[in-house]
Amino acid sequence: MSKISDYQIHRLRIPLRMPIGDSQVIFTEHWMTLLELRTDDGAAGVGFEIQQGLPTPALAQTIERFEYAHWPSLQGSDPAGVALGIHRPRGGNVGAAPHSLAVETAAWDLLAKRADLPLYQLLGGGDPRVRAYGSTLDFHLSDDEYRGRLTEFREMGFQSVKVKIGHPDPAWDLRRLGIAREVMGNDGDLMVDANEAWSPKEAMLRLDLYAREGFEIFWIEDPITRDDYAGYAALRSEIPTARINTGEYLGFSGKRRLLESDAVDVLNIHGHINQSRFAAHLAGDYGIPVSLGNTIMEIGVHLAASLPECLYLEFSDLAWNEIAVEPVRFRDGFAIAPDRPGHGIELNLAAVEKFSQPA
């Protein structure tokens, strides 16, 4: 079997077409680390990581860190062990993920290419289509810009959208919800995301207000701080009008506690494929569905397509898709996992060059 024999790293700065953000943050650019892992039979797997706003270390420093932290255990190893290995975080080992997201993604790409299968099939999926919603990340956009983004999503075939709320003035939230319904119509679902803006009581008051004003909310995402398990359990039992979606900001243990605490209606997963599969499986054991937040290059479509109970995949139409020869396609409100071997994201080298910023 082929072994990992070489690598290449690119450091990219990708300016966003317009600012993205929420009630807590605003970003105008992405810093991406692209990793190609090659095997001795000539195959290549691609992985990526993103940092929002804060620049990543210069390329030379990134390579130095990779050589220290990852390369000794990767060189000469089989991609299967890298992708599928289960690790035991204990003591000083806790918090130090054995492989970065970029390494894991590249290894899965290599493994699926070796099997000559699209990744979602290697993960056990049959149907490449996943229901998706448009996510405008709109908090810092003017009403007109926001309307424009919604119109773009509607023209792409989306019916369901997620709106950033959590403004100090509840009337602001109501106005934005009104614009969403005005542009999107009433056929799709309307989700909202407060990004931890509220206390539990404030969350209850806001959800009650939206309901009284006639807005049916499919889910409320991260209304309160991520680890307020008692607060989430209270919201889940007290709010009759909307599902509680949370877990985006928590690792595996936090997601487990949400489930144990009866604190979540839809568990938000994304990131590392292996851990997300375990979290989804655990959620299923509690009878709880999952959703996928934004994943870099929309790679999460493979994981989502392999899960039996993924309600929705988030799509924000971000500039990173420019660096894919053929990005993941979205049509009629569905994401469609590429039917090419691997995860199907090959690098557009001209675009990589365009965004490249080694120093």
Nearer to Mg ion, 200 or 247 (CB): 247
- How many whole angstroms separate alpha carbon 344 and alpha carbon 336? 11
Task: Quickly count: other Cβ atoms within 10 Å of residue 123's Cβ.
Answer: 19
Residue 221 DSSP SS3: strand
Q: Find tokens 């680390």 and name the residue.
A: 33
Task: Quickly count: other Cβ atoms within 10 Å of residue 144's Cβ.
Answer: 8
CB of 310 to Mg ion, least distance (A): 16
- How many whole angstroms separate alpha carbon 63 and alpha carbon 84? 24
Nearer to Mg ion, 189 or 248 (CB): 248
Residues in contact with Mg ion, counted by CB under 5 A, come to a total of: 3
Q: Which of the stretches 203-211, 227-235, 245-253, 326-334 binds Mg ion when contact is defined by CB under 5 A?
A: 245-253
Residues 248-307, interacting with Mg ion (CB under 5 A): 248
The reply on whether position 196 binds Mg ion by CB under 5 A is no
Residues 34-53, interacting with Mg ion (CB under 5 A): none
CB of 217 to Mg ion, least distance (A): 14
Q: Which of the stretches 45-53, 213-221, 278-286, 298-306 binds Mg ion when contact is defined by CB under 5 A?
A: 213-221
Residues making up the chain, counted from first to last: 359
CB of 117 to Mg ion, least distance (A): 31
Q: Which residues pair with 50 in a beta bridge?
A: 32
Residue 259 DSSP SS3: helix
Which residue's Cβ lies closest to Mg ion? Answer: 193
What tokens does 328 get?
């993941």
Nearer to Mg ion, 266 or 328 (CB): 266
- How many whole angstroms separate alpha carbon 124 and alpha carbon 277? 11
The reply on whether position 193 binds Mg ion by CB under 5 A is yes
Q: Which of the stretches 23-31, 246-254, 320-328, 332-340 binds Mg ion when contact is defined by CB under 5 A?
A: 246-254
Q: Which of the stretches 27-35, 182-190, 214-222, 276-284 binds Mg ion when contact is defined by CB under 5 A?
A: 214-222
Q: Which of the stretches 95-103, 130-138, 216-224, 273-281 binds Mg ion when contact is defined by CB under 5 A?
A: 216-224
CB of 249 to Mg ion, least distance (A): 8
| E strand segments, the chain | 4-21, 26-39, 44-52, 129-135, 161-164, 190-193, 219-221, 243-246, 266-269, 290-292, 310-315, 329-331, 334-336
Residues that bind Mg ion (CB under 5 A): 193, 221, 248
